[in-house]
Structure 1
């Protein structure tokens, strides 16, 4: 039983990596055809909000604190500096390089995170 679940975990990792690779190749093709990376990021965030927003609302509305102004400001700052900056830099880099380099560098992110945590304590 343990071997089957381990095999399933490995296969899930392989499928996810193929998905990331395919998405990177498709994004490179879209950038080459003239799609603006800023427009794509806005579409990506809107689709995520429409798909995950209702789910998060109904499943977690009793577990989370109410949205106050300070909490909304923190969420805005964290989302602006986190995902949005990361995606902008990623797609600008993808525009200048190949999908192979972009896929390889995205796997280095955990190492960079560890080094930053080590340096910043």
Structure 2
């Protein structure tokens, strides 16, 4: 039943990089990791569920922030070692910094420049003492 999972080239830790991309604008929102269980649940629940390496457990995007990623399409790259989740980012915030995207810095003149503003203060999103999902 899960033969489609066998086509994915998992890394030595049993993970695959997962890129979340806005299904309408095409903007890359974030990158996280998935294991077989998180990818299977993502498809079953129609929402992004990642594997948190720092916590060593499943991470349902939005479980603390409320900023859920609803899955519209799942893609696999030509080498079968990266997946792209075409998602609808509920709440408009994908990054734990309170920005739309985790990719908010641009390299210019030998330095990283922040180009995207904070939409919502992270302290207002997360519980005290929690830094990110």
How does the TM-score come out when normalised to structure 2? Answer: 0.21
Larger Rg: 1
Structure with greater strand share of residues: 2
Structure with greater helix share of residues: 1
